[in-house]
Amino acid sequence: MITSTNRIACQVLFCKRTGSAEKFAGEEIICGKCWKNISKATKRERANLRRRHKKIDRLLMRYAILSKHGRADQLYRLNETFKRRNAANWEKCKKEANEVAAGHA
């Protein structure tokens, strides 16, 4: 959700904080205040997924040139899997932050 031309609103309901549209171009954000309300386990899972996804991206860059033995295909499939898992985890983060903001947790 974009509030003005240069700001992006936090994805948590009733939170009025915003982030720079230049820094977070085309992304959804959860502000630091709301991020603190998400469980450590969910944040740890997100960090692990992002770390693995970055590693696979680096491997894909390397194997894009040396596409031998179908390894690049395996990496592409793995990359898509991590994209889906990362998206699901982001939705979980938003859900947890919204539950705390609404007083349900």
- The residue ranges of every structural domain in the chain are 1-36, 39-105
pTM: 0.80
Give helix 71-102 / helix 40-65 axis angle, nearest 10°.
Answer: 160
Give per-residue pLDDT as tens, 5-30. 689 999 999 899 999 888 888 889 99
Residue type, 34: C
Give per-residue pLDDT as tens, 50-69. 999 888 888 877 766 556 55
- Alpha-carbon span 62 to 76, nearest angstrom: 12
Q: Which residues contact 91 (CB under 8 A, 6 or more apart)?
A: none
